[in-house]
Amino acid sequence: MRIDEQNTNTPNNKRNILLVGKTGNGKSTIANVLVNSEQADTFKESDRSSSETKQAKSEMFEVTYGNEKIIYQIIDTVGLCDTDMDEKDIFLRLSEAIELLNGEINQILFIVGGRFSKEENEVYNIFKSILFFDSECNISNYTTVVRTRFSDFEDRNECEIDRKILEEKIPDDIHIIYVDNPSLKGNENKINVSKESRKASKEVLMRHLLDYCRKNYRPSSLKLINDRINEHVKKGKELEKEEKNLQEQLRKAKELGNHENEKQIQKKIDNTKKSIENENKKKSEKMKRGLIDVINQAGENWKYAAVTGVEQGNKVLPLVGGAVGGAIGVSVGAVGTAFSALGYVFTKIVGGEI
């Protein structure tokens, strides 16, 4: 199989790939590998414990597969599995990702650096039971676990040994694939070796996407949220376009040395930025309302997920504690701490604190 690629801005048979994972697991690196960025800065890479991804970011590339042309949009998210984000940021960044999805998703790539942690398991269950819930389809059919930093990823036996261990921690029958994307730092020889590894990793990723990820998923939950935020998304884009035009006017005014005009344009830019900030606040508020819509839609599905988590005695659904446990009449004991950023928000929503 030969994969030919080129960058493109023309939507045609587009497939949205959402990247999710804890900070430091190589999420942004996977994004760079997929879009074929050797600069490692299209999506900001970092080995640090603090996230370099401060907002949802996307890039598109086109693949020719036989007679078919497919456009992939790679969407890198903030650390929904992490805990160092406040409520305001979580809502804004989550709405950015949902806005980019525009109602449909082809695949969620869950990036893990080792075992499937409590935080990752929690976020997966929120995705499955609420955020990407649809009564006629299971999001697990559109999810792949990508195990990173696996130096033996081309050794099938080593992958199978690790897969058996990893499957014990994953709640559903989900595809697991293995890659290794070393840093593009160091001397020339080291960088060349890293590039070869990344190239082989991309082949693994693309074969999986082309062979197994063919359909787009349009959960009713995304439509509910989009219906809430679309007005502010549209207004925000208009304001961003207006700011861009004003910045160009400011540049020309500076070239001409027209200081009075500069001041007037700068004042307009400042007002436009305030308007953008205001629309973002409104979008976040509508996002909250949309999430409440989605939680109400999930209904019995949410209750089933909660009860199942309790019966299994497993703490991967900490959301069923506290407010949620009381709301559905489930005794969950000490299972009540929200570990992930996303879990924190949903706990507050269901508890009536938002």
Q: What is the CATH number of the domain that holds 93?
A: 3.40.50.300
Domain boundary at 298, 313, 346, which?
Answer: 298
Question: Are 80 and 158 found together in one domain?
Answer: yes
* 121, part of any domain: yes
Of all residues in the chain, what percent carry a pLDDT higher than 90? Answer: 43
Question: Are 293 and 354 found together in one domain?
Answer: no
Domain boundary at 212, 242, 260, which?
Answer: 212
Statement: residue 196 has pLDDT above 80: yes
* 128, part of any domain: yes
Q: What is the pLDDT of residue 324?
A: 40
Mean pLDDT over each residue of the chain, to the nearest integer: 81
Question: Are 283 and 183 found together in one domain?
Answer: no
Q: Give the pLDDT band (50/70/90) at residue 9.
A: very low
Question: Are 313 and 167 found together in one domain?
Answer: no
Question: Are 197 and 276 found together in one domain?
Answer: no
* 220, part of any domain: no
* 82, part of any domain: yes
181-190, 241-250, 294-303, 343-352: which has the highest mean pLDDT?
A: 241-250
pTM for the whole thing?
0.80
* 221, part of any domain: no
Question: Are 329 and 311 found together in one domain?
Answer: yes
Domain boundary at 168, 184, 212, which?
Answer: 212
* 278, part of any domain: yes
SS3 per-residue string spanning the chain: CCCEEECCCCCCCEEEEEEEECCCCCHHHHHHHHCCCCCCCCCCCCCCCCCCCCCCEEEEEEEEECCEEEEEEEEECCCCCCCCCCHHHHHHHHHHHHHHHCCCECEEEEEECCCCCHHHHHHHHHHHHHHCCECCECHHHHEEEEECCCCCCCCHHHHHHHHHHHHCCCCCCCEEEECCCCCCCCCHHHHHHHHHHHHHHHHHHHHHHHHHCCCCECCHHHHHHHHHHHHHHHHHHHHHHHHHHHHHHHHHHHHHCCHHHHHHHHHHHHHHHHHHHHHHHHHHHHHHHHHHHHHHHHCHHHHHHHHHHHHCCCCCCHHHCHHHHHHHCCCCCCCCCCCCHHHHHHHHHHCCCC
- Give the domain extent around 242: 230-298
Tally the domains of the chain.
Answer: 3
Q: What is the pLDDT of residue 66?
A: 85
Question: Are 132 and 254 found together in one domain?
Answer: no
* 47, part of any domain: yes
Statement: residue 24 has pLDDT above 60: yes
Question: Are 159 and 292 found together in one domain?
Answer: no
Question: Are 294 and 308 found together in one domain?
Answer: no
Question: Are 322 and 190 found together in one domain?
Answer: no
* 55, part of any domain: yes
Q: Give the pLDDT band (50/70/90) at residue 314.
A: very low
Question: Among all chains, which residue has been given the structure tokens 């009540």?
Answer: 336
Question: Are 264 and 205 found together in one domain?
Answer: no
Question: Are 69 and 192 found together in one domain?
Answer: yes
